[in-house]
Amino acid sequence: MTVRAVPGQFTLVLHSHLPWLANHGRWPVGEEWLYQSWAGSYQPVFEVLRGLADDGYSHCMSLGVTPVLAAQLDDPHCGASMFEWLASWQLRAQEAALARRPHCAALGAREFRAAEHALADFETHWRHGGSAALRSLVDSATIELLGGPLAHSFGPLLDPRLRRFTLTEGLADTALRIGDAPQGIWAPECAYAPGMGEEYAAAGITHFMVDGPALRGETAMGATVSGDVVAFGRDLEISYRVWSPRSGYPGHAAYRDFHTYDHDHGLKPARVTGRGVAGPDKAPYDPDRARSALTNHVEDFVDRVRRRLIEQSARIGRPALVVAAFDTELFGHWWFEGPQWLDAVLRRLPEAGVQVGTLADARAGGFVSGTVDLGPSSWGSGKDWRVWDGPQVADLVAVNSEVVSTALDTVAKRLVHTDGVRDPVSDQIIREALLTVSSDWAFMVSKESAAQYARDRAFTHAHATREICAAADRGRDGQARRLAQGWQRADNLFGALDARRLDPGYTR
């Protein structure tokens, strides 16, 4: 039976990001977070995309990968440690399989096979770093790659000088890794302040993501913000069908429970079972039960996208756009069955008469209508800035402002005397300032998720910035260089960062 095509386009957007974690603790917060996300989300999601490419699918989604995550996926230390982590997973699974406890043998055998598969996948596709894995997806047009600022700072609260610098450096970093600079971005936290559209235009950005309320819920079309720069909004009705604390698919009783561990082996043995069921009382995970739920949720989502496109197209009198946007880490890391759901949905939507495309496709296809005076917004709680600028994080806001001001003042003074020669002290000052103002630290504090770790990280990088600046400002150049070298060894990222580009008189 031929399915009638529906008007418009559906676009899936995923945002891949973790803060810089290398050499900053391992467990319970630190590098373990990176390796869990790598094995749970990045490996299986990329495997899904390669499979779609092999079967002739293209323009499947817009995929954002932040430069700070890309740096970790390319980092030799992280790559070697990831391989060790996967081997440890397999050993823990083997121990579980041999344990004489109910359900342990089946759990261990299942996890052993999964770890074995992940090790083989890592050896085949990731041993040369994440950029190699990502570039094949870009070159095959399976995805549109979205970029972003060099470090994940909350743009509206950042000094415009550093905000412009971190954006252009971020795009250059992606071009260095992939071959081309992205024309679309997912700004950290979908945060926007008036005037940022002009900065996007100056950097060569043509489109970016905001949350639905930023466009007053009018997400059926993109809207021009500045010049030719288009803002696309997340359709909350469709997006919340997947990721809602109350009714989203991952909370279904049949899916694997994220929070419950077999602490002897570090494995996850249980299914959600029920919202009010305590961890020790949860039922064992049943893959067959999960597959049945997954089939239903795939069909439900496809049906809802079809209906949403029909309704929105009828409402606006032209083919409409529906954008569903999520953190990549939802798929696999948080929601174990998520990558399987992604694969099935991206195959079923075209079969159901839905045109699937990227944000770039939507812009080129004319899914843009009018201009919008975009106000202050984010995709955080309240859709405003409270998570990153509220009373709970007032100390971080103050530290961020002071550190950025100190860094920019010191670097400006040094650039006057460098005669155009690159200055590693200035470079490291800017690196540490950017690590200080990562939006992740305020988010973790506001959400009371490893808040002490977040504060420690912010204050550590703030201290690094201050002590390098203090030595430089006192004219103790040798000490400043030694401090800069020491901190660079501790945080070995963004080697191409060049503080001279903060100086408008410098040309590449």
Task: Transcribe 237-271 into DSSP letters.
Answer: HHHHHHS-TTT-GGGSTTSBPSS--BTTTTB--BB
* Active site positions, annotated: 189, 327
d(CA 327, CA 338): 11
Beta-bridge partners for 9: 321
Q: Are 428 and 487 in contact (CB under 8 A)?
A: yes
| Residue 508: pLDDT band with limits 50, 70, 90 | very low
Q: Over 90: is that where the pLDDT of 483 sits? A: yes
pTM, 2 dp: 0.96
Q: Which helix (H) or strand (E) holds 73?
A: helix 67-74
Domains of the chain: residue spans and CATH:
9-381 (3.20.110.10), 390-502 (1.20.1430.10)
The end-to-end CA distance of the chain, in Å, is 59
Name the residue with higher pLDDT: 504 or 287: 287
Provide the H-helix boundaries in 317-450: 338-351, 359-364, 386-389, 394-416, 424-436, 439-446
pLDDT in tens, 281-332: 999 999 999 999 999 999 999 999 999 999 999 999 999 999 999 999 999 9
Q: How many CB atoms lie within 10 A of CB 85?
A: 21
**Contact at 8 Å (CB) between 217 and 377?**
no
Give the span between the Cα atoms of 171 and 184, in whole angstroms.
10
Q: Are strands 222-226 and 321-327 parallel, antiparallel or unpaired?
A: unpaired
Residue 303 identity (one-letter amino acid): D
Residue whose C-alpha is closest to residue 121's, from 34, 41, 65, 22: 41
Cis bond upstream, residue 28 (ω within 30)? yes
Strands 321-327 and 207-210: unpaired
Torsion of the alpha carbons at 134, 136, 138 and 143, rounded to the nearest 10: -80
Q: Are 236 and 220 in contact (CB under 8 A)?
A: no
Mean pLDDT of the chain: 95
Rounded to whole angstroms, the Cα distance separating 34 from 13 reads: 21
d(CA 385, CA 78): 32
- What are 151-209's pLDDT values in tens digits? 999 999 999 999 999 999 999 999 999 999 999 999 999 999 999 999 999 999 999 99
What pLDDT is recorded for position 507? 42
Which among 30, 21, 47 is positioned nearest to 114, based on CA atoms?
47
Provide the pLDDT for residue 1: 55
Residue 457 contacts residue 24 (beta carbons within 8 Å):
yes
The helix/strand/coil state of 222 is: strand
For the stretch 353-410, pLDDT in tens is 999 999 999 999 999 999 999 999 999 999 999 999 999 999 999 999 999 999 999 9
Give the whole-angstrom CA distance, residue 386 versus residue 23.
30
